[in-house]
Structure 1
Amino acid sequence: MKAIYPGSFDPITLGHLDLIERSSNLFKSVIVLVAVNSEKQYLFSLAERIKLIKNSIQHLRNVEVDSFSGLTVNYAKQHNAKTIIRGLRAVSDFERELQMAQINHSLKPDIETLFLATASEYSFLSSSVVKEVARFGGAVEHLVPLSVAKALREHYQSLLS
């Protein structure tokens, strides 16, 4: 069975990576689906986000990366995926994620949403927090894959030049 793990991944964190690894053990195939939203401002371009994810998942043979603009359930249907993976860090995530799952179910009842609780060591972690720490020169190597930490450091150093 195939599953999709959608998100903006700007940038991918160790929390995301944990969910991807765990999903790869549950499903025959997992697609990390990178969001394309022209109304949102991203730190990294779509190509950069895809590259950073691919660098981070090289060890996972049944995981691929793709991008899509539109409804995730439409992508899932087009790619014969029956499950959308969503991570929950805290109770505050649940309401928004439940609403999205219910909307998706109303659109495509044959596609299920699976909620995975984030590992406790990553429950505080978000891409926004990582960017904030990196922007002010804080260490992020314990929050993101090393290639992402390097990309963040280079991005913020280039702004100072």
Structure 2
Amino acid sequence: MAVYPGTFDPFTPGHRDLVARARVMFDRIIVLLAVNADKQPAAEAPARAVLVRDAIPAAWDNIEVDSWTGLTTTYCLRRGATVIVRGVRTAADLHYEYQLAAMNEQLGIQTVWLPARPHLAVISSTAARAYRSARSQPRT
């Protein structure tokens, strides 16, 4: 079993693609909505979880959506997951993810990185939020 953590604010086509690719690599994937006090998501975790569930086809029956406040490795250990799946869009992402992976490995959890597909790599949750915000502004 593997865990794919993130704030998913919002859940982008890149996130969905990563789930699609990971679900054939592992018998079970938990898409874990991380509750991070340092971030100010547009919606609370339960509302984001509904949006993620709605974005995942019902036929993908090996996908679970959950939320968690705390270290992802603690969640993995409690659930019996042995792998964390992470997407990587840029070299800067890889540098940051390498540091996390090294810490997670010390706690007994392996990390698998999946590169973003080129046409999806430009889409980040931050950019998607900015676009959504700009579209919701009244035009003058």
What TM-score range do you get, normalising by the shorter chain?
Answer: over 0.9
Deviations 1:44-73 (A, max 9, x none): 211111000000113311001001111111
Distance in 2 of aligned mates of 1:6 and 1:134 = 23
Identify the residue that residue 131 of structure 1 maps to in structure 2. Answer: 129
TM-score (norm 2): 0.93
The 5 A counterparts of 1:2-151 are 2-59=1-58, 60-106=60-106, 108-109=107-108, 111-137=109-135
TM-score (norm 1): 0.81
Deviations 1:115-157 (A, max 9, x none): 00011111111000011111111xxxxxxxxxxxxxxxxxx47
Identify the residue that residue 140 of structure 1 maps to in structure 2. Answer: none
Distance in 2 of aligned mates of 1:132 and 1:38 = 20
Runs (4 or more) in structure 1 with deviation over 6 Å come to: none
For structure 1, the residue ranges without an aligned partner over 5 or more in a row are 138-155
Tell me the amino acid that sits aligned with residue 124 of structure 2: S
Aligned residues: 138
SS at match of 1:26: coil
Distance in 1 of aligned mates of 2:81 and 2:93 = 24
SS at match of 1:25: coil
Once superposed, what is the RMSD of the aligned Cα atoms?
1.6
Identity within the alignment, %: 36
The answer to which structure has the higher helix fraction is: 1
Distance in 1 of aligned mates of 2:87 and 2:70 = 20
For structure 2, the residue ranges without an aligned partner over 5 or more in a row are none
Deviations 1:58-103 (A, max 9, x none): 3311001001111111111111111000000111101111011111
